[in-house]
Amino acid sequence: MSLQTVLVTGANRGIGLELVRQLLSEPNPPQHLITTTRQTANRVELDALVAQHPNLHVLHIESKAYDSFTATGGVADQIQKIVGTRGLDTLIINAGIAISKELDNVTANDMIENFEINTVSPLMLTKALLPLLKVASAQRKTAVVNISSLLGSIELAKPKPDGQWFSRYPYRCSKTALNMISQCLSTDLKRDNIYVISMHPGHLKTQLGGPTAPVEVDAGVKGIIKQIKLIDNNSNGKLVSYAGGILSW
């Protein structure tokens, strides 16, 4: 992957913010690194990076405001004005939420909310940005990376050896569906030379992962970037681990 024009969603904290930091620190950083956040305030670290790096751009986005993705002057238009004829070669969809409800307290609204933000929104955003992805893919290697989770794997959804088990219905199901979207997109976009993968980022010490998570954020993100650079026909349409290797669906 050339990583010349990159979009990272959900970049105000956690994995997204660390992706921004590390991409800016690359020996050959992106010509344009575009980030999105739903925050209009309380984004001190991201704004500080913008002040230091003229190639970093921040756009406001609401994950469920689907019409704004393609509206005149909306998300796609704003990105097009930044990247111009270079197109968008790397789309990293990181924005998401985790509603970890169990059988005794999960509600229909929990399921719908998690599904909309983690599954529907990534598909609609990718669809809206397809013209820009196709412009890039005619020039260089281009990919869509959906940040998913091992918890979305059906085959690996088993209790731990000690018997510990959490169903986390809304979150798990939203990531399982996201994995199917990655698989379907990889087939639909193959003719356009656009790769699509799901990425397991590891259990990281983020606000979502918690302070006892086993993997530091910088180490996990370093692995994510490495695996993005290695995307090929073998990983296309697969669930890829930040540590390398293909995981079972």
Q: What is the pLDDT of residues 175-223, one digit of tens each?
A: 999 999 999 999 999 999 999 999 999 887 676 666 677 678 899 999 9
Distance between CA atoms of residues 158 and 4, nearest Å: 40
Which H or E run includes 91?
A: strand 90-93
- Region 52-66 average pLDDT: 96
3-state secondary structure of 51: helix
Helix (H, G, I), strand (E, B) or coil at 77: helix
pTM equals 0.95
CA–CA dist 14, 230 (Å, integer):
23
Higher pLDDT, 36 or 166: 36
